[in-house]
Amino acid sequence: MDRVSSSEEPPTAKISSIFIYPIKSCRGISVSQASISLTGFRWDRQWLVVNSKGRAYTQRVEPKLALVEVELPKDAFTDGWEPTKSSYLVVRAPGMDDLNVCLGKQCAKADGISVWEWSGSALDEGDEASKWFSTYLGKPSRLVRFNAVSETRAVDPKFAPGFKVMFSDGYPFLLISQGSLDALNELLKEPVPINRFRPNILVKGCEPFSEDLWKELKINMFKFQGVKLCSRCKVPTINQENGIAGSEPNETLKEFRSDKVLRPNKKQQGKVYFGQNLVCQDSLTEGNGKTISVGDSVYVFSKASSPTEAAA
């Protein structure tokens, strides 16, 4: 691992966009600032659509979720804001009336909820939300919210012991650079937008794929760690404007972003990588005042020597 900079030196990059995805696998919200919580950005992947057995729906099997838009009150992204009984999560989709989910109501507990390796209880958002998603997807569905009072979902301790998420796939934050997206798009017949990759933090001003190597970094005053290259599933192949899947960009990624190319001396898993999963050291303590914003500088203090040495 190489020590590379101090905060007195020019920043490595700057934040150009911040995205939050309140309902897992539904559309994200671009925000100017976001509060850091114990599980990632506040509101990120706090809700989940499940089937009749309580199992998570994702775009992998229900690509129509890509068309579901989500809106939160504008003040929800300011530090310390708390919902009232007149605060709503608004959900929209083609051909559907708006669904208004009250953020301040008491919810019944739903047992037997599962997403990937985790199972536990969640908070059921009620029959109206269930009817809306069941109608939209054409099969029995319910909308549930993570029950932070009674449940925890740990990040893989092999990579980030002690950290937690809600309904994210695995890690609290995903960072991608604009340079990496631009480099990929130069190889594609049809360029793809950043929403194919669903990052939380998009940065600009650094070399393509330099984020692969970032191990210790600081954004605003907060310490982050790059803990694992992000291996990609089929979701990047789904057009987020129409929900239709193709073969790209994953086919092109296989040519220059596979473990065979990046990590030839490591165990081969047939994966492709795009982006760096992060944890925030300062998220381990509760309290307000932990906010990062578009325009914040990113300082990198240590790097892996090569993608082969980066965790993946």
* Tens-digit pLDDT profile for residues 10-67: 999 999 999 999 999 999 999 999 999 999 999 999 999 999 999 999 999 999 999 9
Nearest Cα to Cα of residue 231 among 183, 278, 277: 277
* 126/231 Cα distance (integer angstroms): 34
pLDDT, position 285: 78
**Matching residue, tokens 């909308």:** 143
| pLDDT score of 7 more than 80 | no
Note the pTM of the prediction, 2 decimals: 0.96
- Across-strand partners of 218? 223, 299
Residue 269 C-alpha from the chain's centroid: 22
Residue burial 103-126, b: 16+ Cβ < 10 Å; e: rest: beeeeeebeebebeeeebbbbbbe
- Across-strand partners of 70? 91
pLDDT, position 2: 62
Token pair belonging to 220:
């605003």
Average pLDDT, rounded, for the chain: 95
C-alpha angle 231/157/309, rounded to 5°?
Answer: 50
Report the percent of the chain where pLDDT is more than 90: 93
4 band by pLDDT with thresholds 50, 70 and 90 = low
